């Protein structure tokens, strides 16, 4: 696929949108995970705080103890990451009972953050041991034991590093999952684009069949989005065919209308020669011949008009070469030439047989006139060349003869044959190239690029 490919553009656009959607989904999932993780952590910390409140006991002098603290090992190890603390006041002043994990550190609550007794919990962000940050739940409760009561401030906190580790573990699972999902979605979108563009591939195949002359119009079974294009192409093909027919008819009328005047001029030239006016007869004959060549060129251009239409067939050059060479060999008084034909029987060219016959006849006739004794005809994928061992020509002469000018008056004919060949070849999407042959003479090659080849 090239950068101008519609399929490539659609796939890249879809891949970009998929990546954007997955990136947004990744940020959204992380935010949801963080919210759920914080909420669940707060609930667990609050559950621990209520468990401590339920297990707290009041001693004879108002001292508070927890005979069976929660069994989480993180609370039993120094700086284990999970901490709790109970504060109260007795006759001796402010007292604290801490988990072993706090070791020699106390949790200080900021002023004004103490919840009202019975008002529920408060969630705080507190500094912890070893410069850590803690997510803390604070409750103020009043407990009654026998005849004694005590107001307690219970703080349960978790090191946020554990939350960060949980987030990192979640991202380690999330990123490969999103990458795999993105790959699946891109592949699915590629398949979707491929199937969505199938009607255009069908249209291309139908155009190829129309181009090769296998059908006269595009079918009407395309989707609603493509069928108007097919209908417009059918109308264009019909209009083009009608224009070509009108051009051919006009050229035929012109040729027919000029036949009589040309015959009269030819008769006048002969009469002038017979009456002794040789110079006048020669001038009339030359002008009549020039007019005849112009008519021939106009007719050739009219025939070439069909080559530029949507419908174009292919032609095998091998039988045409053999037929034309056979005809040239039987010309009266023709020199004995060695014809070397290197044209594969399976080779085809993207041109009508009538047009190829016209072009090939001009090239072979030109080579026959100038060859010393050898003519070679070669053909392959998209090209056909005719070479001779004649005198050849300079670069400037090649340009002149390609424009239809005479090369040498010592040979019959004119440069119009090659000019007609050039016009026909260009009308079929090809080009005529003149160069020096390895045989020593001229090499005239007809070539068609693959972009004009309907195969």
What number of CA atoms fall less than 13 Å from residue 206's CA on the CB side? Answer: 20
Integer Cα distance of 186 and 6 in angstroms: 16
Spatial neighbors of 354 by CB under 8 A, at least 6 apart, are 303
Contact yes or no for 387/341 (Cβ under 8 A): no
Both tokens of residue 417?
């044959």
Helix (H, G, I), strand (E, B) or coil at 151: strand
C-beta separation of 408 from 288 below 8 A:
no
User: In whole angstroms, what separates CA 338 from the centre of its chain?
Assistant: 52
CB 454 within 8 A of CB 208: yes
Q: How far is CA 380 from the centre of its chain?
A: 31
Q: What is the pLDDT of residue 402?
A: 56
Q: How many CA atoms lie within 13 A of 113 on its CB side?
A: 15
pLDDT the model gives residue 259: 75
Q: Are 304 and 297 in contact (CB under 8 A)?
A: no
Q: What gap in Å lies between CA 124 and CA 45, rounded to an integer?
A: 12
CA 356, 358, 361: angle at the middle one, nearest 5? Answer: 100
**Domain segments of the chain: what residues?**
28-165, 234-308, 317-452
Dmax (CA) of the chain: 162
Q: Name the E strands within 15-109.
A: 57-58, 64-65, 82-90, 93-98
Which helix or strand (DSSP H or E) is residue 176 part of? Answer: helix 160-196
Query: Does domain 28-165 correspond to CATH entry 3.30.450?
Result: yes
CA–CA distances in Å: residue 322 to residues 319, 326, 339, 355? 5, 6, 10, 16
For 298-307, b/e burial (b = at least 16 CB within 10 A) is bbbebbbbbb
Partner residues linked to 90 by β-bridges: 93
Structure tokens given for 407: 């090369």
pLDDT of 406 reads: 46
Which pLDDT belongs to residue 454? Answer: 41
- Same topology, domains 28-165 and 317-452? Answer is no
User: What confidence score (pLDDT) does residue 384 get?
Assistant: 94
Cα(136)–Cα(107) distance, integer angstroms: 10
What CA–CA distance (Å, rounded) separates 428 from 313? 11
> What is the CATH architecture of 317-452?
2-Layer Sandwich (3.30)
Quote the tokens at residue 179.
């990458």
Per-residue pLDDT of the chain (455 residues; tens, 9 = 90+): 677 888 888 889 999 999 999 999 999 999 999 999 999 999 999 999 989 988 888 877 778 888 888 888 888 888 889 999 999 887 777 888 989 899 888 998 888 777 776 668 899 999 999 889 999 999 988 888 766 788 889 999 999 999 999 999 999 999 999 999 999 999 999 999 988 888 888 888 888 887 766 777 888 888 888 888 888 988 888 887 787 777 777 777 777 777 778 788 888 888 888 888 878 888 888 887 777 777 776 666 666 555 555 556 678 899 999 999 998 888 876 678 889 999 998 988 888 787 888 889 989 988 888 899 899 999 988 899 999 998 887 887 777 765 555 444 444 444 567 777 887 788 777 888 888 889 888 899 999 875 444 43
Residue of 253, 380, 250, 240 whose CA lies nearest to 307: 240
Q: What is the CA radius of gyration of the chain?
A: 49
**Owner of token pair 């909420």:** 39
**Sign of the Cα pseudo-torsion (221, 226, 232, 237, in order):** negative
How long a stretch of residues is the chain? 455
Give the model confidence (pLDDT) of 76-123 as tens digits: 888 889 999 999 887 777 888 989 899 888 998 888 777 776 668 899
CA dist 241 → 111, 147, 236 (Å): 95, 114, 9
pTM equals 0.56
Q: For the chain, how are helix, strand and coil distributed in percent, rounded to 5?
A: 55, 20, 30
Task: Give me the pLDDT at residue 297, please.
Answer: 66
Beta bridge partners of 325: none
The secondary structure element, H or E, covering residue 254 is helix 227-274
Using CA atoms, how far apart are residues 83 and 161, in angstroms rounded to an integer? 13
**Which residue in the block uniquely carries the two structure tokens 């039993």?**
76
* DSSP letter string, 327-384: HHHTSTT----EEEEE--TT--BSS-HHHHHHHHHHHHHHHHHH-SSEEEEEEETTEE
Between CA 211 and CA 202 the distance in angstroms is 14
């Amino acid at each position: 696929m090239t950068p101008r490919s519609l399929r490539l553009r659609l796939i890249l656009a879809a891949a970009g949108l998929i990546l954007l959607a997955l990136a947004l989904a990744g940020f959204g999932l992380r935010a949801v995970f963080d919210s759920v993780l914080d909420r669940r952590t707060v609930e667990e910390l609050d559950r621990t705080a209520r468990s401590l409140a339920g297990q707290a006991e009041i001693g004879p002098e108002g001292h508070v103890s927890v005979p069976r603290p929660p069994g989480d090992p993180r609370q039993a190890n120094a700086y284990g990451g999970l901490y709790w603390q109970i504060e109260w006041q007795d006759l001796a002043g402010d007292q604290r009972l801490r988990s072993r994990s706090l070791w020699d550190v106390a949790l200080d609550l900021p002023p004004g953050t103490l919840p009202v007794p019975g008002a529920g919990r408060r969630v705080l962000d507190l500094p912890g041991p070893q410069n850590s940050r803690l997510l803390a739940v604070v409750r103020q409760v009043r407990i009654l034991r026998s005849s004694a009561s005590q107001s307690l401030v219970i703080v349960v906190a978790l090191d946020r590093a554990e939350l960060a580790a949980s987030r990192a573990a979640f991202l380690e699972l999330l990123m490969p999952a999103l990458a795999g999902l993105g790959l699946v979605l891109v592949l699915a979108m590629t398949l979707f684009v491929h199937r969505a563009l199938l009607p255009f591939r069908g249209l291309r195949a139908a155009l190829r069949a129309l181009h090769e002359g296998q059908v006269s119009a595009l079918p009407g079974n395309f989707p609603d989005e493509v069928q108007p294009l097919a209908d417009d192409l059918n109308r264009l093909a019909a209009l083009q065919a009608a224009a070509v027919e009108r051009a051919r008819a006009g050229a035929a009328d012109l040729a027919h209308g000029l036949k009589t005047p040309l015959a009269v001029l030819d008769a006048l030239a002969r009469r002038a020669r017979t009456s002794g006016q040789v110079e006048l007869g020669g001038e009339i004959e030359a002008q009549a011949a020039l007019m005849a060549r112009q008519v021939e060129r106009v007719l050739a251009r009219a025939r070439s008009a069909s080559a530029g239409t949507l419908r174009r067939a292919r032609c095998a050059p091998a039988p045409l070469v053999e037929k034309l060479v056979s005809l040239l060999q039987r010309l009266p008084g023709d020199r004995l030439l060695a014809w070397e034909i290197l044209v594969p029987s399976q080779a085809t060219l993207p041109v009508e047989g009538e047009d190829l016959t016209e072009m090939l006849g001009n090239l072979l006739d030109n080579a026959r006139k100038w060859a010393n004794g050898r003519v070679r005809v070669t053909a392959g994928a998209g090209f056909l060349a005719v070479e001779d061992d004649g005198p050849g020509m300079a670069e400037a002469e090649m340009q002149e003869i390609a424009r239809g000018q005479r090369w040498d008056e010592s040979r019959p004919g004119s440069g119009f044959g090659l000019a007609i060949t050039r016009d026909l070849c260009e009308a079929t999407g090809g080009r005529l190239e003149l160069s020096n042959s390895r045989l020593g003479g001229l090499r005239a090659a007809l070539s068609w690029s693959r972009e004009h080849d309907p195969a």
